[in-house]
Homo-oligomer: A and B are copies of this chain.
Amino acid sequence: MANIQEIAKLAGVSSATVSRVINHKPHVSSETRAHVQQIINQLDYVPNINAVSLKKGATKMLGIVAPTFSDSLGTFLKNFTLAAQQGGYNVTLFLTGLDKQKELEAFERLRNKQLDGLVLVIRLNEWDVLESYAKYGPIVTWQRVEDRNIQSVFMNQYDGYMLALEHLYEKGYRKIVNAYGNTAGLNTKSREKAYADFCQKYDLNPNEFKHFYNQGHMSEGETMARWWVDQTHKPDAFVMATDYLASGLVTEAKRLGLSIPQDFAVVGFDNTLVAHLLDLTTIHYPIGKQGENAFIMIDNQLSKRTNPLEALSFHLVERLTT
């Protein structure tokens, strides 16, 4: 395999000159430049990137770390990767499952210089152990975090959730059931708070109905449709944690012969493909833009620039379920 020395010898110059040609640096006469370039082409030479990385102490590689592969992650990953590639970086994916150790492995890559930066979608380990890696390179997360060493593209879902509630109120719905996500999650807390404030504002009883806490699987939405049928005192609207959950509810309702929004209204969250597919009213969650921002933040730190971030906001997408 050809290396820079070989090129130098064949071109009758020093390796320094070859290096200058490769990296388009000045101080090479155009004749020598052309000549060296010709030899390079002739031998089909490319620089060994590991040597470059070793020398420069940077790899132009970023990592993205998440426990599992979901639709949302797909969107995030896609936009992040595209932005990164645009900026001259490549990105490698770490799927951690539920394995804390696996997550640490990704962070070790930052330490051992294989990665210049990292975006952590959902963490497994405690913040303080992850935070200790910040000194090895920029870390950005999707989640909310109070740490000046780790930046975040977090969006407070309070605002988005309130959008859904206000929309329902405006449409005349008063008997609203909430299906939240993970009990422990911060997003759930924000949404609960939004609902509490909403009830206070309009003088509604926040505990008129059961509150659901789900893992986001479609089948849990299906269960809720059957739950509705069983109730004597029935709600007239559902706000669902995700579009998938909502789609479970909607499709099962149809199987049961119910009609939406006549029997009850449904609002999803995220505005993913299924929402379009099922004509779901939903809250648009700009995950793609968050991915782009994640890159911008990393890039800004790495290159000490200060490029502006994309503006992020939720908005309501009204379709046929309300």
Contacts and interface: CB of A to CB of B under 8 A. Distances in A.
Residue of A111, A218, A248 most packed against chain B (CB within 10 A): A111
Contacts of A102: 85
A81 interface: yes
Interface in A57-82: 59, 61, 69, 71, 74, 77-78, 81-82
Contact of A78 (B48, B69, B90, B247): B69
A204 interface: no
Contact of A277 (B82, B91, B109, B218): B218
B92 A247 contact: no
A155 interface: no
Contacts of A276: 218
Majority SS of interface residues in chain A?
helix
Given A54-B54, A112-B46, A218-B276, A85 B81 contact: no
B49 A112 contact: yes
Contact of A74 (B69, B90, B244): B69
Contacts of A90: 92-94, 109
A98 interface: no
A49 B109 contact: yes
